[in-house]
Amino acid sequence: LANLMDVPVNEVITKCIQSGIFVSINQRLEADIIELIAAEYGYDVEFISAEEEIAVEIEEEEDNPEDLVPRPPVVTVMGHVDHGKTSLLDYIRNTNVTAKEAGGITQHIGAYSVTTADGKKITFLDTPGHEAFTAMRARGAKVTDVAIIVVAADDSVMPQTIEAINHAQAAGVPIVIAINKIDKPTANPDRIKEQLAKINILVEEWGGPYQCQHVSAKTGEGIDELLEKVLLEAELLELKANPKRKASGTVIEAALDKGKGYVATLLVQNGTLHVGDIVLAGTHYGRVKAMTDHTGKRLKEAGPSTPVQVLGLNGAPQAGDKFNVMESDKEAREIANKREQILREQRIRASERISLETLSRRRALGDYKQLNLIVKGDVDGSVEALSDALLKLSKPDEIEVRIVHRGVGQITESDVNLAAVSDAIIIGFQVRPSANAKKLAEQEHVEIRLYSVIYDVINEVKDAMEGMLAPTV
Ligand code: GDP
């Protein structure tokens, strides 16, 4: 702040102390204090969010139109449980990936690329279901170009089918319908199309805009045609990228491997990533020591829409974090550290606020009981609906349900920290904790409960409340 206003740091510190705020040079000031101090020097303050602050620091060069070349589409497979998402992904991987060529076995790295019979490429995200899709979206990442919605022909359009369609549509991602298990004698694809029509998904064959393909993930019937339809849909999008620039993209997954260190799967979305590049991903960074594809084949470089596993980061970034190639190690480290600091401060601020609140409330309430909850869900709508239903469980003068925090996306370490300081239970609806959050929850004895049906949440919370109300012996 002192630098921005071009005044000595000590003067700013003195001003703070005069206002009763004791600060040191390394401390970040609260927004209202910044405003107060700046006003004394005649400045108006405009705040930008932490994310913007970070985004501002990473200069994204404009692409020269003549550098843009077509890139393969990135595809997500979504649909109801047991309708065959995993089988479909496995079938496509096993038939279209030449593992032998690399002398390796295909491994799960979170994404893979295939080449179709007529030599076209498609990249698949290998985590089926819409949890991964929404978790990424919640972090602001847009990775998917086309969504395949799988519906089993021997079953029906199910709640999760509808949810998957809603998620894809909310993200503006075109849909291709795959009616799976067509090999089964009980398959009835017309019934599925009828049910889809009822939710406004009218397939082409019936005069609607949605491409639809009968497939069997067991026999492979229709799968080539499905891929063609995906490519057709992708063509309309005119997907392009500039392989000549420094790489940027999204973290698909990351983990700590005992032998190799931190291993991250990155989807290059623009530019070309090289071995030796300095990568900044979320709050972590490092030089790419080695790069492999999903067959284990070593790569020297990877262009747009290529998923690669990289070694060399100094930690595991979160799925959905953006990554950028930076000019220098120093630059990457500075931004990573700044992001880390901002996150840490956000956590501390949240915990201070909550613990104080809890403390004073407890004092004021005396014997009064309250159940604190943190609600995380996959979509805004369900988080709101669930929170409302939970709040209604409060019984005046007996027990109060308090939602300390609600949000969309994966359960994170900061959720767990918040739960720890506010004695809250975390309710995850159609979302899971990150690996780190899970570890932290175990350490801090924070309870995380996962659900996929709203009704179950309500019932169990009700039971828990009765437990709290039961006389203690
Ligand atoms: P997911 O939960 O959507 O990932 O579904 P899975 O891929 O695990 O499939 C659920 C079950 O359906 C498994 O037992 C599969 O073997 C079976 N299945 C999947 N696709 C087909 C298919 O095309 N035909 C038949 N007969 N069974 C299938």
Paired strand residues for 74: 123
Contact 136, 320 (CB under 8 A): yes
Q: Ligand 1, atom 6: nearest CA belongs to which residue? A: 84
Ligand 1 centroid, distance to 197 Cα (angstroms): 24
Mean pLDDT lowest among 16-30, 157-171, 223-237, 238-252 = 16-30
Verify whether ligand 1 is closer than 6 Å to residue 81 (CB atom): yes
What is the model's pLDDT at position 57? Answer: 57
Q: What is the DSSP string of 397-426?
A: TTEEEEEEEEEESSB-HHHHHHHHHHTEEE
Q: Check if the interface score ipTM surpasses 0.90.
A: yes
- DSSP assignment letter at 64: P
Q: At what angle do helices 454-469 and 380-391 cross, to 10 degrees?
A: 30
pLDDT in tens, 134-143: 777 766 778 9
Q: How far is the CA of 136 from the centre of ligand 1 (A)?
A: 25
Please enumerate in sequence order all residues whose Cβ is within 8 A of that of 304, keeping only pairs 6 or more positions apart, or say none.
Answer: 69, 71, 72, 241, 242, 243, 268, 269, 270, 271, 272
What tens digit of pLDDT does each residue of 378-388 get? 887 788 889 88
Please name the residue whose Cα sits nearest to atom 2 of ligand 1: 82
Q: Give the pLDDT confidence score for residue 13 in this predicted structure.
A: 86
141 pocket-lining for ligand 1 (C-beta < 6 Å): no
What are the backbone dihedrals phi and psi of residue 351, each rounded to the nearest 5 degrees, phi first? Answer: -75, -40
127 within ligand 1 shell (Cβ under 6 A): no
Asked if residue 133 has pLDDT above 90, the reply is: no
Q: What is the DSSP letter of 63?
A: P
Of all protein residues, the one whose alpha carbon is nearest to atom 22 of ligand 1 is 181
Q: How confident is the model at residue 56 (pLDDT cuts 50, 70, 90)?
A: very low
